[in-house]
Structure 1
Amino acid sequence: MNTLQLSIVHRLPQSYRWSAGFAGLKVEPIPQHLQNAENCLIGLKLLSEDGEKAWPIMHTLSQALSDIEVDCSVVECEGEPCLFVNRQDEPAATCRLKNFGVAIAESFSVTHPF
């Protein structure tokens, strides 16, 4: 069975940028007031696996995006492998991943009638 069809990712809530001198290797969070700047990255974290099991899956996801020429990198963030893409490529990236059977967990807020 295709391991991608069992994969669930979610978008990290914060935006990122490449750390100075470490493009493609290391990210840092962007302050809230700069999140509309160019070179803004979004991160996708695997929910269905973690630790060492997550790395090969994230590299497979990265290859799927590279196949359609979406620049991306798998980088450790908060102790887990995360897939980073440019913000402007997010729609193409999520569409490609969904076409591969990857579930994208959506964040939502619930309002209570009380």
Structure 2
Amino acid sequence: MIELRSPIKIEPDPRGGWQLILWAGDAFDYTTPFRALLGDIAEALGQDRQNDLQLPPYEVGEDFVEGTLRFGSTPLGIYYEHSLSYLALMSDSEGTLRDVAGRIQKSVQAASHPAPNLSSQG
């Protein structure tokens, strides 16, 4: 089961293309299991977590991690950070991310407390 703090969201990626945003934990909680979450996402997409999920080796206190998840023959960029506790899957195609969101939605469960509203902070 994929536990999230808010609904899946697709938005323009500031670097170009699109990003699917998943809020998964509390800010600065380095125990948020992003790697396990990505494995669950790979499996929900019908991919093999061992072969289709590419992440750098784990480091204690890691933050700002980038990788790749293959979705069929399409590589999706991965970015997650513990500082804000979110995970993004990135693609040039909004349609691809909508397909990804639709496929993983049935495995998503709402967490006990919502993600923070960061848009009003500043």
State the TM-score, normalizing by the size of structure 2.
Answer: 0.45
The structure with the largest alpha-carbon Rg is: 1
Query: Greater helix share, 1 or 2?
Result: 1
